[in-house]
Amino acid sequence: MVAGLEKKICRVAVSGYYGFSNSGDEAVLRSILLALEEQGRAAGVKFEPVVLSADPEWTSRMYGVQSAHRMRPADLFKTLRECDALISGGGSLLQDATSAKTIPYYVGVIKLAQLLGKPTFIYSQGIGPVNRRWMDPLIRHVMRKSAYLSVRDAESAEYLGRIGVSKERIEVVPDPVMGLPLPANTAAGRDGAAAGSVPVVGVSLRHWRKDGADLERAVDALAELASRRPVRLRFLPFHTPEDAETSKLVMERLSGRLGEGSTVELASPGDDPQRMLLEVSRCDMLFGMRLHALIYAANQHVPMLGLSYDPKIDQFLGRIGLTAIGTTERLDAAEFAAAAEKLLDDAAAWRAEHEDAISKLKQQSQRPAQQIAQLLR
């Protein structure tokens, strides 16, 4: 705490995609809560978060904070009225790829807080794609009226600039999860680090194409790698139960296609995002389709190959000097296997090449919490 300052108590509502059993979004929430606690302590502010959640009881139990139901108007109104401010973010909240209802919901929460006279803070959001142009004025209106505005990539900042938000007000920061620590009293330890042990390849896949052609290509790529050398393919379900079902499907299709000494297994880290971070830390490399699987890997300096299904994957990989090994439309099995072997054979070179970019992102991940604490102080 800053010397000579009386600690100020600030009750803040936190709006995002929380309470849906999505490890990536839960990691965002955990990261924001920890950053607010740390930066609040430094600024002499005690944050009392109230999380808007699809499952308030679970969220309160998991994080030790107050929660309110995100879809019950009376609960939402009461929470915002009783709070001192609203934090909206992080994650890909303002996009219409998944539903036309997503942007109106999150913009509506921000607007309600503003109508109630509460300062609003946009916390490391990834904005877009926005395919319906009638959404632009809705986003522009609440962004212009927010007290602080940060996005997680340059492309989001460019979009806001195009629709009329002053670029001088927009801060580009990393995804909050870059600052997530491992669980207390644990340490990263790569199972494959010991000489002669079989390397662990983390695999994070999701269902995307309706015809499943992207998953078939992933099966071919993993089978090619597992036939060239012994590997432990460890599947990591980031969104349950969907990702677990997808993983089991891919594992079944790998049956009979593994080389001698190669195995497949499914991780069960539970609901705590820091336990999943620990799982990723124990991999020798990661093949990821989920954005936060890649962010977890970067957080723990685990060499990675990304499979792109959305521009946000390419945007994140670009920030650490990488490009995707393939997309949901194209993935060459031999090219994938060769790239994976290179990472497994010389992980140290990969870490040395990307160390500076990753360290910079980890440091910058605290910036939004720092700014919010100063503004509320």
Token pair 């699809």 is found at: 54
Note whether 295 and 169 are same-domain residues. no
201: helix, strand or coil: strand
Note whether 85 and 212 are same-domain residues. no
CATH number at residue 195: 3.40.50.2000
Give the number of other CB atoms < 10 A from CB of residue 166.
Answer: 11
Please indicate, yes or no, if residue 117 is contained in any of the structural domains: yes
Please indicate, yes or no, if residue 14 is contained in any of the structural domains: yes
| Domain assignment of residue 350, given as a range | 191-361
Please indicate, yes or no, if residue 71 is contained in any of the structural domains: yes
Please indicate, yes or no, if residue 330 is contained in any of the structural domains: yes
Note whether 213 and 156 are same-domain residues. no
Note whether 16 and 116 are same-domain residues. yes
User: pLDDT for 224-273, tens place per residue?
Assistant: 999 999 999 999 999 989 999 999 999 999 999 999 999 999 999 888 89
Note whether 165 and 231 are same-domain residues. no
User: pLDDT for 190-223, tens place per residue?
Assistant: 644 455 699 999 999 999 999 999 999 999 999 9
Name the DSSP class of 5.
Answer: P
Phi/psi of residue 66, each to 5°?
-75, 150
Give 29's strand partners: none
**pLDDT (0 to 100) of residue 240:** 87
User: pLDDT for 167-192, tens place per residue?
Assistant: 999 999 999 999 999 998 887 766 44
Note whether 253 and 308 are same-domain residues. yes
Of 303, 289, 307, nearest in space to 343 by CA:
303
The answer to whether 37 and 74 are in contact (CB under 8 A) is no
Q: How far apart are CA 32 and CA 39, in angstroms?
A: 10
Count up the domains in the chain and report the number: 2
67: helix, strand or coil: strand
Of 302, 305, 271, 275, nearest in space to 290 by CA:
305
Note whether 135 and 232 are same-domain residues. no
221: helix, strand or coil: helix
Tokens of 112: 């309600």
Please indicate, yes or no, if residue 186 is contained in any of the structural domains: no
Q: What is the pTM of this model?
A: 0.89
Of 323, 329, 292, nearest in space to 309 by CA:
329
